[in-house]
Chains A and B, each alone.
Chain A
């Protein structure tokens, strides 16, 4: 479904991606792990065209993402939950969730868009009373759930989750993990999640990829992660300060 082929990206003198090769199969949940600043978010942003790779190719369903075509139609296939939820402050919650349904190719009548937004909010465990509030009036966990509702509002084929549990307490993290898993299974969507949180990895992933020094260090099914024998992956999943990964990067 999504294939990275030798993708490089450098910001100034900082080479973030140095030959990323990765394949995400349709309908599976891939979790990308790795230390801070290793290029996990950049990789996702390269797929969506938010960041342009210096070299290499990214294919979605065999089509090169750099080949042009209808960009709106391409982006309509994706939903994304941002790290900080990235809700629009000036819009009430329901308009955030129904943003895509209120304009552009997927535009629906306002009442229908609101109905869908309320249903998606219910799907992520939020009542209709939240619909007319503004993002600033919500807790961090509620904002994440609204972001999740927005990501799934147009029933996308692919959903990206950028550190979905960062900044949340363990219980709320568990709630978000369960929601992501349920949504991915229920919708049959392809999911790519970026996280440092190993409990999220175990709850969400079918497959895991570890990004280190701009390349995939290890990839495989989550069940094989603990027995990988890779010292980098072992150090990361057990959170050890000692090991091949320098803690001061």
Chain B
């Protein structure tokens, strides 16, 4: 009986700790948004974050999208040929990329590139007392470090997802036209005719949500970092893990919200 009680107590403690963490993350996110809306605003920090999160992520987002689109076209062609449905390659590539793979893969790449970088930077600042120094210099760390990064992700990631969608479709187009004997004009027409506004809207909304998750988790882990190199390492690792899992979970929720029948 006491073994079962210990087991249940252990599970209870973990559940409570997990709930407390969720509560802290939600409060942290709410505080980040509240600081976004109240002056002072740090325009230069926002520009730096836009550059870092948006512009500098373009190569990795582009590569991910083009290879995924190309592989998807090959897979659909091979799978479709089993029941003589090769002609649906443009439609399925468009649907798969825009509704699902574009936002999810861009979100995960942003989690890998941006979340880790934000977490490591802020954790290092915390360990080296730069966060304390900011406070003593009358500058709120949430306002100076967190709000610009979350806002930049909210602006940039939907744009990256939109671009990733286009590049992914182009990846499928390139393979289909060059290797699978599709007609280029017909491929494009089929893609455009098949996609609906809701497909694109859902993709961009997912991008915005994933961007906020990626940036917020990086900032949160950095601000909660423990001491020393190990603390920075743990913060970086836990931020990417949490952001990735949350992005995948949010994807299910958003897909359900947009497309549930």
**Chain A interface residues toward B at CB < 8 A:** 45, 48-50, 71-72, 75-76, 78-80, 82-84, 86-90, 99-100, 103-106, 150
Q: A-B contact count, CB below 8 Å? A: 52
Give the chain A neighbours of B129 by CB distance below 8 A.
82-84, 86
Question: Do A84 and B128 touch across chains, with their CB atoms under 8 A apart?
Answer: yes
Closest partner residue, chain B, to A72 (CB atom): B138
Q: Closest residue to B48 on the A side, CB-wise?
A: A90
Cβ-neighbour of B136 out of A78, A89, A90, A106 (below 8 A): A78
Query: Does B34 make an interface contact (CB < 8 A)?
Result: no
A61 to B133, CA, bound (A): 23
> In the complex, are the beta carbons of B135 and A75 less than 8 A apart?
yes
11 additional A-B pairs beyond A79-B136, A86-B129, A86-B130, beta carbons within 8 Å, are A45-B132, A50-B132, A75-B137, A75-B138, A78-B136, A80-B133, A82-B133, A84-B128, A88-B125, A89-B130, A150-B137
Complex: how many Å from CA A71 to CA B138?
A: 8
Contact count band on B = 10 to 19
Contact between A49 and B40, CB atoms less than 8 A apart: no
Cβ–Cβ contact A99 & B135, under 8 A = no
**Subset of 9 A-B contacts with CB under 8 Å:** A50-B132, A50-B135, A72-B138, A76-B138, A86-B132, A86-B133, A87-B133, A89-B130, A103-B40
Which residues of the other chain, A, contact B21 by a CB distance below 8 angstroms? none
Question: CB within 8 Å of A: which residues of B?
Answer: 40, 42, 48, 124-125, 128-130, 132-139
Contact B40 A104 (CB under 8 A): yes
- Are A82 and B132 neighbours in the complex by a CB distance under 8 Å? yes
Please give, as numbers and ranges, the residues of chain A lying within 8 Å of B132 by CB-CB distance: 45, 50, 82, 86
Distance of A105 Cα from B39 Cα, bound (Å): 12
Give the chain B neighbours of A99 by CB distance below 8 A: 137, 139
Distance to closest chain A CB from B148 (angstroms)? 12
Specify which chain B residues have a CB less than 8 angstroms from the CB of A90 in the assembled complex: 48
Question: Measured between C-beta atoms, what is the minimum distance from A233 to chain B in Å?
Answer: 28
Give chain B residues whose Cβ lies under 8 Å from the Cβ of A49.
Answer: 135
Residues of B contacting A89 in the complex (Cβ-Cβ under 8 angstroms): 124-125, 130
Out of B40, B130, B136, B139, name the residue touching A48 (CB < 8 Å).
Answer: B136
Q: Is the interface of B mostly helix, strand, loop or mixed?
A: helix
Q: Give, as a whole number of angstroms, the nearest-CB distance from A135 to chain B.
A: 10
Picked from A45, A83, A104, A150, the residue with its CB within 8 Å of the CB of B138 is A104
Contact B42 A88 (CB under 8 A): no
Question: What B residues does A88 contact at CB under 8 A?
Answer: 125, 130, 133-134
Task: Tell whether, in the assembled complex, residue A86 and residue B128 are in contact, meaning their CB atoms are under 8 Å apart.
Answer: yes
Chain A residues with CB under 8 Å of B125's CB are 88-89
| B138 CB, min distance to chain A CBs, angstroms | 4
Q: Please, how many angstroms separate the alpha-carbon atoms of A106 and B40 in the complex? A: 13
Chain A contacts for B138, CB-based, 8 A: 71-72, 75-76, 100, 104-106
B68 to chain A, nearest CB (A): 33
Q: How far is the CA of A105 from the CA of B40 in the complex (A)?
A: 10
Question: What's the Cα separation between A75 and B133 when bound, in Å?
Answer: 11
CA A80 to CA B139, docked complex, whole Å: 14
**Which chain A positions have C-beta within 8 A of B130?**
86-89
Name the B residues within 8 Å of A100 (CB-CB): 137-138
Least CB distance from A29 to B in Å reads 19
Q: Nearest Cβ distance between residue B152 and chain A, in whole angstroms? A: 15
Please state if A80 and B136 are interface contacts (CB–CB under 8 Å): yes
Residues on B with C-beta less than 8 A from A87 are 130, 133
Contacts of A72 in B (CB 8 A): 138
Determine the distance from Cα of A82 to Cα of B134 in the docked complex, in whole angstroms. Answer: 11
The 6 A-B pairs with the shortest beta carbon distances in the complex, nearest first, are A86-B133, A86-B129, A72-B138, A75-B138, A82-B129, A80-B136
CA distance A132 to B157 in the complex (A): 33
Q: CB-CB < 8 A to B136: which residues of A? A: 48, 50, 75, 78-80
Closest partner residue, chain A, to B135 (CB atom): A50
Interchain CA distance A88-B135 in the complex, whole Å: 13
